[in-house]
């Protein structure tokens, strides 16, 4: 059975693998390869997470994993602050292992993050997604609507969405 729980430092190897493989699955073929950093491997990502794990969790950020039999299948990172005025929290990253896509893991990770943010009385959440990411429709599927666009690194155009999710407003920002 898949469990959804707070990440612990021992998850860093799994988190590195999930983030890098999910990101590559989204962007290879969708954007020019010069924008993809192939030196960013699961091992490099895991080492970065391990280094900053305690400092990041101390700042009240949310790190949740989907786990089955001690294997990390998905990961969400949310912050109790946001860049866009009117939003109280943001999702900084959401990743599911490619071989586990379309099994409800992404939806559940967002649901768990929203529940925890509501417990903290934070009622609006923005989510960013690069325009070229073929998974933008995932957020629309959850009820997201675009709330704006902005320029991002390398001059790419971004968009912002807003999602109504139960009694919590979830903003979905495509960056
Ligand atoms: C986007 C991502 C997190 C979705 O996770 P997932 O576990 O596959 O999504 P779920 O199974 O929970 O899907 C929830 C709903 O969205 C739909 N959905 C999922 N991916 C979709 C996509 N790419 N396009 C359209 N709809 C999608 C599902 O069909 C499902 O709809 P349903 O409830 O009507 O059946 C995953 O594809 C991923 O990690 N992608 C690579 C990284 C990425 O792009 N992250 C998000 C951008 S920041």
CA of 8 to the centre of ligand 1 (A): 24
Which pLDDT tens digit goes with each residue over 6-47?
Answer: 999 999 999 999 999 999 999 999 888 888 889 999 999 999
Q: Given the CA of residue 93, which atom of ligand 1 is nearest to it?
A: 48
* Separation of CA 135 and ligand 1 centre (Å): 6
Q: Give the closest residue (by CA) to ligand 1 atom 19.
A: 138
Is the minimum distance from the CB of 103 to ligand 1 under 6 angstroms? yes
Burial of 1 (0-12, 13-18, 19+ CB in 10 A): exposed
- For the domain spanning 3-170, the CATH number is 3.40.630.30
Q: Is 94 in the pocket of ligand 1 (CB under 6 A)?
A: yes
* Residue 17: both structure tokens together: 């693998």
Enumerate the domain spans of the chain.
3-170
This prediction has a pTM of 0.90
Residue 144: strand pairing partners: 163
Indicate whether 5 pLDDT > 90.
Answer: yes
Q: What is the pLDDT of residues 67-120, one digit of tens each?
A: 999 999 999 999 999 877 888 888 889 999 999 999 999 999 999 998 999 899
- CA 155 – ligand 1 centroid, Å: 25
Nearest CA-CA partner of 110 in 60, 38, 51, 170? 170
> Is the C-beta atom of 104 inside 6 A of ligand 1?
yes
47 Cα to the center of ligand 1, angstroms: 27
- Ligand 1 centroid–CA 144 distance in Å is 13
Q: Give pLDDT, residue 88.
A: 87
Question: Average of pLDDT values for 125-152?
Answer: 77
């Amino acid at each position: 059975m898949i469990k959804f729980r707070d990440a612990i430092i021992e998850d860093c190897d799994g988190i590195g693998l999930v983030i890098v493989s999910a990101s590559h699955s989204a962007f290879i073929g969708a954007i020019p390869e010069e924008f993809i950093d192939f030196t960013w491997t699961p091992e490099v990502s895991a080492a970065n997470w391990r280094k900053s794990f305690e400092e990041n969790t101390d700042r009240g950020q949310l790190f949740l994993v989907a786990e089955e039999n001690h294997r990390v299948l998905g990961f969400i990172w949310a912050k109790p602050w946001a860049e866009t005025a009117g939003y109280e929290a943001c999702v900084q990253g959401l990743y599911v292992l490619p071989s586990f896509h379309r099994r409800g893991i992404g939806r559940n990770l967002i649901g768990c993050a929203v529940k925890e943010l509501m417990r903290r009385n934070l009622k609006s959440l923005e989510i960013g997604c690069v325009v070229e990411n073929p998974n933008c429709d995932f957020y629309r599927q959850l009820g997201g609507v675009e709330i704006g666009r902005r320029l991002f690194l390398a001059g790419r155009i971004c968009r912002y969405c807003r999602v109504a999710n139960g009694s919590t407003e979830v903003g979905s920002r495509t960056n």
